[in-house]
Amino acid sequence: MGPDGQLTTSLPIPAHPRLGIRVAYRLQRVLRPRPGLRRLSARIEASALGRPLFTGVERQAKETLFGCRMCGQCALPATGYVCPMGCPKELRNGPCGGVGADGGCEVYPDKRCVWVEAYERAASQGRAADLRLLHRPADHRRWGESSWLNYWQGRDEGLWTTVAGDTGDEGPARHHDRVRESS
């Protein structure tokens, strides 16, 4: 409740990523799943102290760099490293109908729509096609979990799929790998 007795809710606020897009895509290559990271993540998860410490560091880094909300199912590689969960409506598959002509958010007109920003960043690196992926609904049971640990352990496989009727020659798994691993 707010000071006036009204129920208050905290809507996400769109954030401009602080990490440059080129650096983000390079880090994506370094952090892609491989046997060493899979073993490391298994050890972190097995540790009663390691998991919360690792997740806390991830939360701080991703919140600072991307405005991350720790959904546990990171969409950053497919959205130009703009967190779609920063959308006040938490839209994971594109903008709402209220985006201003200047690219402003309908809810926070002084902020840019996360999807406009995602398109501009992805397009600047020749990755605009990544935005055509369909993001499955967020599994709210994963909220607050480390998406890096989930990613390295393969728990987010199938997070994205191609849009029905897409004429691309890539299947969802192949496209998922290309998005996660390419630069």
Residue 134 makes CB contacts below 8 A (sequence gap 6+) with 93, 160, 161, 162, 163
- Scanning the structure block, which residue is given the tokens 């892609």? 32
3-state secondary structure of 92: coil
Is residue 1 over pLDDT 70? no
pLDDT at residue 170, as a whole number: 43
Name the more confident of 106 and 2: 106
* Predicted pLDDT of residue 119: 96
Distance (Å, rounded) from C-alpha 26 to C-alpha 19? 11
pLDDT of amino acid 33: 92
With 80 as the cut, is the pLDDT of residue 6 above it?
A: no
Q: Is 26 a residue whose pLDDT tops 60?
A: yes
Q: What is the pLDDT of residue 104?
A: 96
Between the alpha carbon of residue 10 and those of residues 2, 75, 88, 105, the distances in Å are 11, 21, 9, 16
Q: Please determine, for residue 96, whether its predicted confidence score (pLDDT) is greater than 90.
A: yes
15 near 67, Cβ under 8 Å?
yes
User: Rounded to whole angstroms, how far apart are CA atoms 159 and 134?
Assistant: 8
User: Under a CB-based contact definition with an 8 Å cutoff, are residues 134 and 161 in contact?
Assistant: yes
pLDDT at 159: 80
Question: Taking the CA atoms of the chain, what radius of gyration do you get in angstroms?
Answer: 17
Which percentage of the chain shows pLDDT scores above 90? Answer: 66
Query: Looking at residues 105-134, what average pLDDT do you find?
Result: 95
Q: What is the pLDDT of residue 122?
A: 96
